[in-house]
Amino acid sequence: MTRDSDTILGDPRRALASMAVPMVVSYLVSQINSFADASWCSGLGIEASSAVTTISPLHWMMMSAGMGLSIAAMSTIAFCIGAGDRSKAGRLASQLISLTLVSSLAVSVVAALLLDPVIDFMGAGDVREMSKAYMVPFLVMSWAPLTSAVLAGMIRAEGAARRSMVLLISSVALNMVLDPLLIYSFGMGVAGAGWATVVSSLLPLVLGLSWYMRGSTFARLSLEGLRPRKDDMRELLDVAVPRAAESMISNGSDMIQRVFVIFVAGTAGVAVYSLTWRYVALAMIPAAALGSALIPVCSAAFGQRDPGKAKQGIGYAVRSAMIICSCLSVFIFIFADQLVLPFSYSESMEGLRPLLAWSLRAYCVIIPFYALIGLGSAILQTLRMSRKATSAVLAINAFKLSLLGVACLHSFEAIFYALIISNVAGGMLMIAWAHREVERYEGRSLGGTAVSGDPH
């Protein structure tokens, strides 16, 4: 065992806190970088901002494969650590790298074929060239950010949250340097923002691989481990595919939402809708960090055949996330007028400032319930019930799109009311379903029917 793996095998509350704090720092730095990207692009005018926000869902759909494999890494490798199976952990880690490289090629080809149809579907033909310029770097080098994300998941699976933080911060720091250079100094415009993102992901990729090559991790990469094994691949894909599908559903839903926004308010409405959502993403950082930490910590507890310990960690994560998210919602609501200033300093954006502040206050109602959706999904993934999490997300998004379809026939403000209703209902549904499955699993465990390695 390593010192980091000993951490996730100990007290679940202490393990969650020790992992969540570095992850909060990581996500915070990442969101600051996202704000910097948005600010630099806003300086190019409203068309550039609309182009990036319009095509971003397709970019995140590409990254869904990496997210699914990253969650698979955290769930399966952490379970092996709990069970003390170092050999299998190494095999799974090696095969994750192979799966990631194959997946990156597939998603690039699919995204390239969908690029023009997506722009047409979203009615954003006026920013077509800028949108395509932003996406080209991701189509060419998708393997870099995808592999970097999976390596971070593999390292988090071992409880090494600080190392994972180093990976993300190194990428963000390089990206923040490259953004102004490529966008303005080299005159690349929005394409510079895309190239800065993919090039900066090479640094954590090299750094993460060097840790595995030096043998300082619990799991050991090997050439022999790269050879596909049917059982291992099934175990990885049973988690990765539903999780990737869940992410694609969310991002596909976001893409359709933007169509409704464009219908009622044009590309300027998309800018308002998307830019203020960045503060929601910022407020979600503690909940996201706790949800991500929960997966390896509680998966390790299941590997130890201790469901009571996992349940204790789940309760701690949900309570902590709700308290923090509620406090942040109040803070953002009070200071909304000041918080939208970074997005409205250019002459073309200044007139949108009052609407930006209003939309940000509307989003404040959503934050705690949106956090519950993510936490409920993390709990189900910990139980290896990714398909149920995907089904819940599909139902939530179908309900949300139905409301938005009606709302766009009325007004831009109605869009936000529909978002509030759907996220409140969705959060309550997801956390109730997750709680039910935890209780059922604990009951089966006490009855002696749970099987090691299979929380189903």
pTM for this structure?
A: 0.76
pLDDT given at position 347? 67
pLDDT tens figures, 43-80? 777 778 778 877 877 887 788 888 888 888 888 888 88
pLDDT given at position 246? 86
Q: Is 413 exposed, middle or buried (0-12, 13-18, 19+ CB in 10 A)?
A: middle
pLDDT given at position 452? 40
pLDDT tens figures, 175-220? 989 989 998 989 898 899 899 989 999 999 999 999 988 888 888 8
| Of the candidate ranges 9-13, 275-279, 313-317, 449-453, the one whose mean pLDDT is the lowest | 449-453
pLDDT given at position 140? 94
In angstroms, the CA 314 to CA 294 distance is: 7
pLDDT level of residue 346 (50, 70, 90 thresholds): low
Choose from 178-192, 291-305, 412-426 the range with maximum mean pLDDT. Answer: 412-426
In the predicted structure, residue 451 carries a pLDDT above the cut 50: no
393 near 377, Cβ under 8 Å?
yes
pLDDT given at position 454? 45
In the predicted structure, residue 36 carries a pLDDT above the cut 80: no
In angstroms, the CA 450 to CA 302 distance is: 10
